Each structure stands twice: as structure tokens, then as C-alpha cells.
Homo-oligomer: A and B are copies of this chain.
Amino acid sequence: MKNAIIGVIGGIGPCAGLDFMQNIFNNTRAAQDQDHLDCVLVSCPSMITDRTGFLLSGGEGENPALGMFESAKKLHAAGAAYAVAACNTAHAGRIFKPFCQMVHAALPELTIINMLETCADYVKKNLAVKRIGLLATRGTHTSRVYHEYFGGGFELLEPDEAGQERVHQAIYSAEFGIKACSQPVKPQARETVEREICRLAERGAQAVILGCTELPLAVHAAYALPVVIINPALIAARALIALVAPEKLLGGE
């Protein structure tokens, strides 16, 4: 029996979308091409306005939800049954709620997988941690979307203002940021991210969430980080495999 087709809204950013797909492939039990799950990636970044820019402007300009909805329509047209947005900042209520409303109204058969909710559920169920560090864009930081999903019982530690700015630059800088340069990630971006992870660990974080889908691109090659790393994209990719073909999920649920 063929699996339901997994849809990924990529392009936000493009390499993070590929990384999401790679997470699916890496976590699928497969010895030949045909064993892999059927997936569609829509990477149409020109249609989706910047998520952080929208949130920081207080909602001026076009809502990225509109472009994400266009991508969802493409996924649906291509036969996808599930859709996940490979971008943390896009999960802020001001973007994600109207996106979900549009999808529910126009494409009721397309099931949206909420990456942040999936991540929070996983952490609550599987990790005995209460003090969690969060590295994210200014948009995710300001919108406090992770606070919403993690709720009470967790203490979320974020970098101070200067640290938050450094993380944001590691993602967004046109000279060395991960969005501009990810093949390979520039040492300045990687070192910044690693340093901020260590700072959060020093402040008592038992785990650190890579709360931007670009951050794993910088951390993939890192070894010996002094803290548990929580990668929401990896968790959501595994949740999707568990949904469509649980017998193919590598390493158990």
C-alpha cells in the first residue's frame, strides 16, 4: 500500500526546506529507493514575505500566511495529505492562525502538522527537562510563540538582548548568516550559534531548542555540545513518518 503523501512548505528558507526533507529520508527504514516515503516539497520563497519582518513591524505589509497558503494549495494539487511549514517563525499566531484558517476553509482534506506543537508534545512526553534554552530569530523571540506552546511547567531561557541580536545575525546577516551562506555555513555563524548554546547551558538550560530551521544547518557538524539539543524539524519529520508509515520509523518512536 502506498503511503499518504507528505507535503513540506519549504523556501522559508530554501535550505531549511531541504534539511526537513533530509530529516524524513534519514529517519526512514529503507534499503532501496522504493522503500522511501512519498513526499512533495514546495519551495516558493518569492511568494512568502519575511516572517520576522512581518512580526517586528507589528503586522505591516503582506502576511506571510498568504504565500504559505499558496504553497499549501500547490501541495494539495500535487496530492499531499499532510503539510508542514519548515519555519519556526511562521508558527507565530499572527501568521500561523490565518494560515490554518485559510487551509481549513479551502483545503479541508489537507492536514496541517504544527511543528512547534509536535515539538512541545514530544519534549513533555520524552524529556525530563524543565529549564529549556531557546535560540531563535527576533520574530520568534518577540512573538513568544514557544512560550505559548510550552506553557506552564517549563522555564524558557533566552539569550540577553545582545545575544539575541548575535543569533539573529547568525541567521540573517547577508555576509555570514546561514540564510545567505549555508553550503557550507560560515565559521562566524557556526561559532556564534555554538557559543550561545553554551551560554544557555551555563545559565542552567538542561536542553536547548534550535528554534529556527536554519540553526540545525549550523549545528549538524557540532560535537560535544554540553547540553541536549532539541531540533523541532527533526521531531516533526519523525512525527510525520510515524503518522504515514510507523513501521518505517527508524529507532522507534
Residues on A facing B (Cβ under 8 Å): 2-3, 5, 11-15, 18, 21-22, 25-26, 30-50, 74-75, 77-79, 172, 174, 179-180, 183
**With contacts A2-B46, A2-B47, A22-B183 known, is A74 near B33, CB below 8 A?**
no
Contact of A41 among B33, B36, B41, B46 (CB under 8 A): B41
Would B22 and A18 count as touching, CB distance under 8 A? yes
Give the 3 A-B CB pairs with smallest separation, nearest first: A77-B77, A74-B78, A38-B44
A-B contacts besides A13-B33, A32-B50, A38-B45, 6 pairs, CB < 8 Å = A11-B36, A15-B25, A18-B25, A21-B41, A32-B174, A77-B77
Would B13 and A78 count as touching, CB distance under 8 A? no
A32 nearest in chain B by CB position: B179
Which chain B residues lie closer than 8 Å to A22 at the CB level? 15, 18, 183
**With contacts A2-B47, A5-B44 known, is A33 near B179, CB below 8 A?**
yes
Which chain B residues lie closer than 8 Å to A42 at the CB level? 40, 78
